[in-house]
Structure 1
Amino acid sequence: MSAETTAVGSESRFRSFLRLGKFDVYDYYLGILIVVAAVQEVSATLVLFLLGEIAVIVAGVALDDITGFRDGSDLVNYGPDDRLRKKLRKPLVAGTLTEAEALRFAWIAATAGAVLWAMAVLTAPHRPVWAVLLLALVYAAALQYSCGLKLSYRGFQEAFLVVLGMTLVLAPYGLITGEFSGFVLVQAVLFGTGPLMFGVYSNTNDVEGDRAVGRPTVAARTSARGNAAFIGALSAGEFALAALASLTGIAPWWFALLVLPAAALRARQFHLGFAAGEIMRARRLGFTVHRLHVVLLVLANLLVVSG
């Protein structure tokens, strides 16, 4: 009996639900730290917003797993032939949860997310229309990402990952301040590209499974060279955005210099993935790049507030 089979047999149901909700991947939730640094307060609205975003994202990733199990792509990408991926991360593939249990979990989380975000809006000192509409749009899209309209199967996967991250910074900032800020928008885009960069490296590894089920990621739609060029452009675009913001006065003049360490690490990630051929190691490095970006963005806000 293999070690993996033994692990599957001993996996608790509670642990399996944690895996289904991807609670160990907390990187989207770090956006609230950027907002707190920008508004200089922690309020009930922000706590409710954070709890709501956790519930919404948990629902979205659970529904994604259900769809990946139904169409067979997860069976390919997490099957016995791919030793770089751990089957236990996909409870339906591992057999530690049933499809009915996963579906029930997803809709409970979705309901909780709707209630918590509604409470966040109701308790907010401001309710700018753009922030409320953005929240409603992203909530609906998160639940339609892999089921229903299947946005990720219609070419919207990469765009959604960025918009979700942007919303988790822009919307709570708007609810607290009632304002729209160009500098916060730049930070929101930089924050949103972090999860995108996890996704595009995963898609590079999962290209055969995605092509088999007709999931049109950029990696699945283009050649290996075209996909590398796309990811290279995204990598360079992060720093280009920061530099442009500094040059135009949207951000302080020193902002581009502040994020240089993250840009250097992003270049290292690209080299690791496409020059060294270590795609999954490059994906893991992406988490470090994203978390470093969050630290630098929090620092930038603290510096602005302090004058």
Structure 2
Amino acid sequence: MTTHAPSGPLTATGPRVEPKARSFVRLGKLDVYDYYPSILVALAAVALPWARFEAAAGWTMALFLLGEVFVVMSMVALDDVTGYRDGSDAANYGPNDPLRRKLRKPLIAGTLSQREALGFAWATAAVGAALWTGTVALAPHRPGWTLVLVPVLFVVSLQYSYGLKISYHGFQEVFLVGLGVALVLAPYGLVAGHFSGFVLVAGVLFGAGPLLFGVYSNTNDIPGDRAVGRPTVACLVGPRGNAAFIGALSAAEFLLGAAASATGVAPWWFVVLMLPVTALRARQYVTGFRGEGDIMRARRQGFVVHRVSTVLLIAAGLLHGAEVAA
């Protein structure tokens, strides 16, 4: 199904004009920054001892982050183009939704055309590719696995809902975690020069954040996703099955940290440090699936949980680095 944007941007009282720059910022979702702190998780894992942290390492981290911003902007812009073309955004941001929500989707609001959105997506992708190429060239280390990971990360990111449409073939949840993992591991490898099981665990826990507000969004978006054949878990199973799936993901987040501490992949104190995340995750689940069952409030809580988790992962990286350096 293909939908068409209204003839002009609308408000509750009639046409309005929004500056193009503002619409492009909305298209790039710069206010949703929860993947970008991945660079701080990676940085914390290599920063100590500080005396050995080279200027090239700092530039590598900075360039990678800048490239990440452009690549993610391209990814979400292409997602909006696909959602506009297949009608899923029209269903999820329908006539009964507040205008402020519609404006977050410039194609639905009519503040940008498809041509403008695609131009923005490919321009930001090109800039992101150039920045990541420069990152690899400047990096103090280039282990073979990073030379594979960085280009794969770039290509796969753009296929989320465009091109191969990964999220339309049952892999959305895996993608959300995998993106977070790669965004932590890639810059870490380019600076540290080696693989780390501890950083892998940190990357998975970082990626669990976007996953565990994404699955609540999917629960809210079931009608639109089903209409276009986007097979999220929420669409494929009943309400009880979806609640069990999200509960299992929430428990797995804690169990991964516990297993890492128990096996020595992470320090013994790691699971204790991350306990506030477990408590907040339980509260999020109760909000979404018990009592009033407020899915969208649970989704908003997920952003808070992810940000708390990110701060604790940064602290864990610094503490672990200090122990190793001592």
TM surpasses 0.5:
yes
Tell whether the 8 Å contact from 2:38 to 2:184 is kept in structure 1 after alignment: yes
Question: Would you say 1:283 and 2:299 are equivalent positions?
Answer: yes
Residue in 1 aligned with 2:50? none
Aligned counterparts of 2:124 and 2:15: Cα–Cα separation in 1: 25
RMSD across aligned positions (CA): 1.5
Higher helix share: 1
Aligned counterparts of 2:198 and 2:141: Cα–Cα separation in 1: 19
Unaligned runs of 5+ in 2: 1-9, 48-52
**What is the total number of aligned residue pairs between the two structures?**
305
Structure 1 segment 265-276 matched on structure 2, within 5 A: 265-275=280-290, 276=292
1:130 alignment partner, SS class: helix
Structure 1 pair 84/266, CA: closer, same or farther in 2 (3 Å)? farther
User: Which of 187, 205, 208 is matched with 1:193 structurally?
Assistant: 208
2:103 alignment partner, SS class: helix
Tell whether the 8 Å contact from 2:205 to 2:253 is kept in structure 1 after alignment: yes
Tell whether the 8 Å contact from 2:11 to 2:99 is kept in structure 1 after alignment: no
Residue in 1 aligned with 2:318? 302
Structure 1 pair 239/84, CA: closer, same or farther in 2 (3 Å)? farther
Question: Would you say 1:50 and 2:65 are equivalent positions?
Answer: yes
Aligned counterparts of 1:274 and 1:8: Cα–Cα separation in 2: 40
Question: Would you say 1:120 and 2:135 are equivalent positions?
Answer: yes
Note the C-alpha offset of 1:10.
4.0
Tell whether the 8 Å contact from 1:77 to 1:85 is kept in structure 2 after alignment: no
Residue in 1 aligned with 2:125? 110
Deviations 1:115-136 (A, max 9, x none): 1111100100111111221121
User: Which of 233, 248, 253 is matched with 2:248 structurally?
Assistant: 233
1:86 alignment partner, SS class: helix
2:267 alignment partner, SS class: coil
Segments of 4+ in structure 1 off by > 2 A?
3-8, 81-85
Structure 1 pair 178/82, CA: closer, same or farther in 2 (3 Å)? same
TM-score, normalising length: structure 2:
0.91
Question: Would you say 1:11 and 2:15 are equivalent positions?
Answer: no
User: Which of 193, 198, 213 is matched with 1:183 structurally?
Assistant: 198
TM-score, normalising length: structure 1:
0.96
Aligned counterparts of 1:95 and 1:57: Cα–Cα separation in 2: 22
Q: Which has the higher contact order (CA 8 A, sep 6+)?
A: 2
Please, which moves more after superposition, 42-51 or 250-259?
42-51
Residue in 1 aligned with 2:269? 254
Structure 1 pair 130/178, CA: closer, same or farther in 2 (3 Å)? same
Residue in 1 aligned with 2:3? none
